Amino acid sequence: MASLNVGNLGDYLREQRRNAQLSLRQLADAAGVSNPYLSQIERGLRKPSAEVLQQVAKALRISAETLYVRAGILDAERDRDEVETRAVILADPTLTEGQKQALLQIYESFRRENGIGSDDGRADGAGPPGHESDADPQQTAG
């Protein structure tokens, strides 16, 4: 079922690679994967692991979560708004990496404040310790 999404992933990767003005070989080198393997992913013949998707996302400077959803690794319905919001922030070329991380930290803190946070064991929104509301939820409940 989800493996039929692999073609969609390949089309999306090809589009992102072209937007980044990278050749297939350049992206393969930057991501640390073989050129033939990346070509097979783009053509929808292979379903990459989460680790490979992470490497490709980093090389393209896009959200790995977006690739996970497109590959069927993350449920597309679960946290769709969060994934899309994070992807837009991470893809904005006018922001520095520090600004992107600051925005993501603020976004996550608002989500937690509203009881919707993505505190499901992932460490992706973690910022510097001791800042903002890092209080234990069990201490504040009640």
- pLDDT higher than 90, residue 123: no
pLDDT reported for residue 17? 94
Q: What is the average per-residue pLDDT within 61-74?
A: 84
pLDDT reported for residue 40? 95
Q: What is the pLDDT of residues 11-29, one digit of tens each?
A: 999 999 999 999 999 999 9
Integer-rounded Cα Rg, in Å, for the chain is 17
Predicted TM-score (pTM) of this structure: 0.53
DSSP code of 44?
A: T
